[in-house]
Amino acid sequence: MTRIWALPILLVLCGSAVATGLIRKDRPGEAVALLGVFLLLAVTNSPLIFPRSIGALEAQRRSADDGRPIVFWRPGCVYCLRLRIRLGRSARRMYWVDIWRDAAGAAAVRAANDGNETVPTVLVSGRPHVNPDPAWVREQLRRSA
């Protein structure tokens, strides 16, 4: 669990250190702006943005029962963040698998992408779709409901 928060905490600490240096140089405006950028980066790389991840095997079992899509993602991926933000609240109805925390999820992504861990990979009805358009994913989610 602490590994998930390592990058966001590191970003906040680095931002604080740089901001402190700018404040000492009598540049508080730049310090506040830079700290804001580091905080934004920390939030986008934290588990707060994404729904709770589950294991790939559990996600596949649940998806087989109710037909909802599975999203394989990893922290720090801007394309995953774009998908998550563009899906809005409906993202919580999908199953999210963090491939850095789940070996079976990483293996499923590699199998779908010729050995590469390209994310987001969305699994709909057992078929993988790499970096799909969020509107298309929303439509697939609507069909599964």
Q: What's residue 3's pLDDT?
A: 64
User: What single DSSP character describes residue 54?
Assistant: -
Residue 53's DSSP bridge partners are: 96
For residue 24, pLDDT beyond 90: yes
Q: What's residue 145's pLDDT?
A: 65
Residues 103-122: tens digit of each pLDDT: 999 999 999 999 999 999 99
Angle at 43 between CA 102 and CA 129, to 5 degrees: 45
Instruction: Give first-to-last CA distance, the chain, whole Å.
Output: 32
Residues 37-87: tens digit of each pLDDT: 999 888 877 777 767 789 999 999 999 998 899 999 988 788 988 898 888
**DSSP run (H or E) holding 109:** helix 103-112
CA distances, 59 to each of 37, 89, 92, 101, 141 (Å): 34, 19, 13, 14, 15
- pTM of the entire structure? 0.71
Residue 121's DSSP bridge partners are: 72, 130
What residues contact 81, with CB distance under 8 A and at least 6 apart? Answer: 44, 49
CA dist 58 and 69 (Å) reads 13
